[in-house]
Amino acid sequence: VLQSSNSLKASYEDWLLTYGLSISPFHIRWQTAVFNRQFYNWGRWKPRFLYLWFSIGMVFGIVAMFGSVILLGKTLMQTLTQMLTEAPKAQNDRMLQVVVSILSSGLYLRVVPGVNLPVSQLTYFFSAILISGVIHEVGHGVAAIREQVRFNGFGIFIFIVYPGAFVDLFTTHLQLISPVQQLRIFCAGVWHNFVLGVASFIVLLLLPAILFPFYYTGVGALVTEVAEDSPANGPRGLFVGDLVTNLQDCPVYSVEDWNSCLEDISEKSQVGYCLSAATLQQLSFPARVYRRLDGTVECCSNSSLTDICFSYSNNLDSHLYACLPARKVIEASKVCRTNMDCQKDSVPSFCVTPSLENQTRLIRVKHPPHIDMLYVGHPMHLQYTVSLSSFVPRQNFLSFDLPVVIETFCKYLISLSGALAVINAVPCFALDGQWILNSFLEATLSSLIVEKQNRELVGFLILLAGSALLAANVALGLWMVTAR
């Protein structure tokens, strides 16, 4: 609108030029020369070290170029196999699954905000993309200055909603230097992304030691948030600040233990509880027994909030049922699988097991000093709606969320920086892989294929194949994400 106005066009374009802005549909770009001096300082710092650093990066970039093709080819085959063997499943909103998906495919374009990425994770996602992009371009810029290529400026952009960065180099200088020098510059971006991912992984690994003066670990899983619709919400549920130490007979020392215990509980059959014959007779009361649609048996009133149907067996009958108050049965009871686990002191006892619907479990959650929480439902619902941390603050004024923020952000940096390295290494038009491939062919095939035109034809065919491979992965990946 402003450009079409005769009275405002000139002043508008002058304003854009003054502030280094460029605006077009779905794209905003800002470029500045303010950081040029800093880039030149970095590019001239310890020349021998930088030569070795970017030479290692060159080797890594070449290996990454071939590796990315293998990775994308394998990912494409897996996606096609999944499409042919089963209906696509909606991806979960859990951040960990997003990270694993990115790492396995190397395609952060598969992450669609609001579809398979929770809104609460958007800040991490976009911040990690921006930092990964800046580090990527810093690598190019410093390497270019190291190879005596003129540096014009640095900038950032927003394309639709995705942020990124770029450096402006003098093209003529780039064309005059040798192919090996070009490789050091073109490979520096993916190399710096790889280093950023490794550094983030090391921080994630050493986080307990880094935060040791302020937080301690290994004592349980600290509840940091309970969703409003969570089945763990309630007067006898979990609260922020509670420390979970056990799930059934599975000890919990960290969030990883919490997840593995829930997974183990969901995969195995429901555990039982030892109950003496006298107590069983005292607590049970007559109830009508009927079968549910899935074949399981119910013997309690549907309106009861405290009683659960338990099954047990004796020497005469292996299918007996009793409606019992759950908390009285479970508290101070030993976990069991069969009646043999309950035989002691010659007291007749039975192993009573909750008779619940398939995939539903009765889980005893210990979070002392509070009374144990008894949860009835699918274990994964408990996992999805309760946020926990392995870090327990040593002082009350310390935040519960700080370790979680650092941990989550490191995971996003690892995955997105790694994805950016993989994508840019692909021999594809308009990506770093295009220039890496061209320089690599010039450096290796100039003696075998003398005609430059023929070398360019070989490069064009490889780029065409790489572009098609990347496009197929992105298209199928987005389809798998959005399909229901």
Catalogue the active-site residues.
137
Contact present, 351 and 215 (Cβ < 8 Å): no
Tokens of 435: 């220039």
Distance CA 430, CA 152 (A): 20
Helix (H) / strand (E) containing 36: helix 36-43
For residue 183, which of 225, 134, 131, 146 has the smallest C-alpha distance? 146
DSSP 187-238: HHHHHHHHHHHHHHHHHHHTHHHHTTTTEE-SS-EEEEEE-TT-TT-STTS-
Contact present, 361 and 266 (Cβ < 8 Å): yes
Given CA atoms 368, 370, 373, 379 in this order, what sign does their dihedral have?
negative
Q: Helices in 44-159 by DSSP H: which ranges?
A: 47-85, 95-105, 122-146
Tokens of 331: 């508290």
For residue 420, which of 176, 213, 60, 130 has the smallest C-alpha distance? 130
Distance CA 310, CA 329 (A): 10
Distance CA 96, CA 169 (A): 38
Distance CA 160, CA 111 (A): 14
Distance CA 179, CA 142 (A): 17
Contact present, 435 and 34 (Cβ < 8 Å): no
For residue 308, which of 224, 231, 239, 364 has the smallest C-alpha distance? 364
For residue 403, which of 127, 170, 208, 120 has the smallest C-alpha distance? 208
* R_g of the chain, CA atoms, integer Å: 30
Helix (H) / strand (E) containing 153: strand 151-159
Tell me the longest C-alpha to C-alpha distance in the chain: 101
